């Protein structure tokens, strides 16, 4: 995470926040440019370097989860709209565009649509806000090194990282959006290019690919995980705010344990997690 001279207090504040959490160091201008020579001279006066950070092959990990789900007897239905959710003494009846399903527990893991699913179930929405995030692939310089670290502005107004021989850049936008199949906005792309060209010695001549997605936040930006107090058998697993794939192993284990009535797994609890901080009951919700 890099900072200009006027952002130095934020570097200091973040160092206090992450102190003692792994191999995290503060480095100066020269060392920062040695690690990322693409940065303009004099732009990044200091940085925080996380030495043991690593990347995730999201596609491979996600498909690994799907294979495990199928092997455990799970079934995935695509293009299957939820039309109605009705509770009864025996559980839930879910009416879909492909027929009806009955279940003792409904897990609301609908991402940007989680509040919409809650309304169908007669539960009070959690106040979730989907926000659009834009990403762009551009060509890097001939001197590009795939080992360059990901670089994020301390105010999170942009980031850049090597991606399959090219560069992935983003304005780190968080534009409020209704639940939808998000598409990149031309203005966001222009803002992204301007910020990247300001911070890096890079001229973006062409956009090779672009896309956008929705990152969904609860009002306090913590995930929403737990049973709904007013809708028995309706379990929330939403509001991961763009960190769903990273938190998936722990969140899945936590959710499974709570659904089965086993409480928080000991190793997760030992990390200081209090399930009440994630429960939908913490939120002041209005119908």
Kindly report the CATH number assigned to the domain that includes residue 74: 3.50.50.60
Q: Provide the b/e sequence for 35-71 (b: ≥16 CB within 10 Å).
A: bbebbeeebbbbbbbeeeeeeeeeeeeeeeeeeeeee
CA distance linking residue 87 with residue 234, whole number of Å? 9
Query: Does this model's pTM top 0.85?
Result: yes
pLDDT in tens, 191-201: 999 999 999 99
Is residue 48 domain-shared with residue 153, that is, in the same domain?
yes
In a domain, 287, yes or no: no
Residue 286 — very low, low, confident or very high, per pLDDT cuts 50/70/90? Answer: low
Are 141 and 185 contained in the same domain? yes
Which residues, including other chains, have CB under 8 Å from residue 274's CB and lie 6 or more apart?
none
Distance CA(110)–CA(18), nearest Å, equals: 31
Long-range contacts of residues 103-106, Cβ cutoff 8 Å, at least 24 apart:
104/233, 105/233, 105/234, 105/235, 105/259, 106/233, 106/234, 106/235
- Is residue 136 predicted with pLDDT exceeding 60? yes
pLDDT at position 153 over 80: yes
* 139 and 47 housed in the same domain: yes
Q: For 178-235, what is each residue's pLDDT tens digit?
A: 999 999 999 999 999 999 999 999 999 999 999 999 999 999 999 999 999 999 999 9
Based on the structure, what is the number of domains in the chain? 2
Same domain for 116 and 100, yes or no, is: yes
Over residues 158-171, mean pLDDT? 96
* pLDDT given at position 210: 97
pLDDT of residue 284: 76
- Confidence bin at 271 (pLDDT 50/70/90): confident
Q: Could you tell me if 140 and 40 lie in one domain? A: yes
263 is in which domain, residue-wise? 58-128+220-282
> Averaged over 153-167, what is the pLDDT?
96
% of the chain with per-residue pLDDT over 70: 99
* pLDDT, mean over the chain: 94
Quote the pLDDT of residue 18.
85
What average pLDDT does range 161-182 have in this prediction?
96
User: Of 217, 242, 258, which marks where a domain is finished?
Assistant: 217
Burial class from Cβ neighbours inside 10 Å (0-12, 13-18, 19+) for residue 142 reads exposed
Residue 46 lies in a domain: yes
CA distance 117 to 105: 14
Contacts of 47 (CB under 8 A, 6+ apart): 1, 2, 3, 11, 26, 27, 31, 32
pLDDT per position as a tens digit, 19-51? 777 789 999 999 999 999 999 999 999 999 999
**Side-chain half-sphere exposure of 92, counting CA atoms within 13 A:** 23
């Amino acid at each position: 995470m890099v900072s200009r001279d006027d952002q130095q207090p934020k570097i200091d504040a973040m160092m206090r926040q992450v102190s003692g959490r792994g191999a995290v160091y503060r480095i100066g201008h020269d060392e920062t440019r040695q690690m990322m020579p693409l940065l303009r001279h004099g732009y990044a006066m200091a940085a925080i370097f996380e030495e043991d950070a690593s990347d995730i092959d999201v596609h491979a990990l996600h498909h690994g989860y799907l294979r495990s789900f199928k092997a455990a007897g799970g079934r995935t239905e695509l293009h299957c709209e939820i039309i109605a959710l009705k509770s009864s003494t025996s559980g839930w009846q879910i009416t879909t565009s492909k027929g009806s399903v009955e279940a003792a527990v409904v897990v609301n893991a609908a991402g940007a649509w989680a509040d919409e699913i809650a309304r169908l179930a007669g539960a009070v929405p959690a106040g979730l806000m989907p926000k659009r995030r834009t990403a762009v692939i551009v060509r890097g310089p001939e001197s590009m090194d795939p080992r360059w670290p990901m670089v994020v502005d301390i105010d999170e107004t942009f980031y850049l990282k090597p991606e399959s021989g090219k560069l992935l850049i983003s304005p780190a936008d968080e534009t409020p959006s209704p639940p939808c199949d998000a598409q990149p906005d031309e203005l966001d792309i222009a803002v992204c290019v301007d910020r990247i060209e300001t911070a890096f010695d890079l001229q973006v001549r062409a956009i090779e690919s672009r896309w956008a997605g929705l990152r969904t936040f609860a009002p306090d930006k913590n995930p929403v995980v737990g049973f709904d107090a007013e809708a028995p058998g309706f379990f929330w697993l939403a509001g991961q705010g763009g960190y769903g794939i990273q938190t998936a192993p722990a969140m899945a284990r936590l959710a499974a344990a709570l659904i089965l009535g086993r409480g928080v797994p000991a190793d997760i609890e030992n990390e200081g997690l209090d399930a009440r901080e994630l429960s939908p009951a913490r939120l002041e919700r209005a119908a």
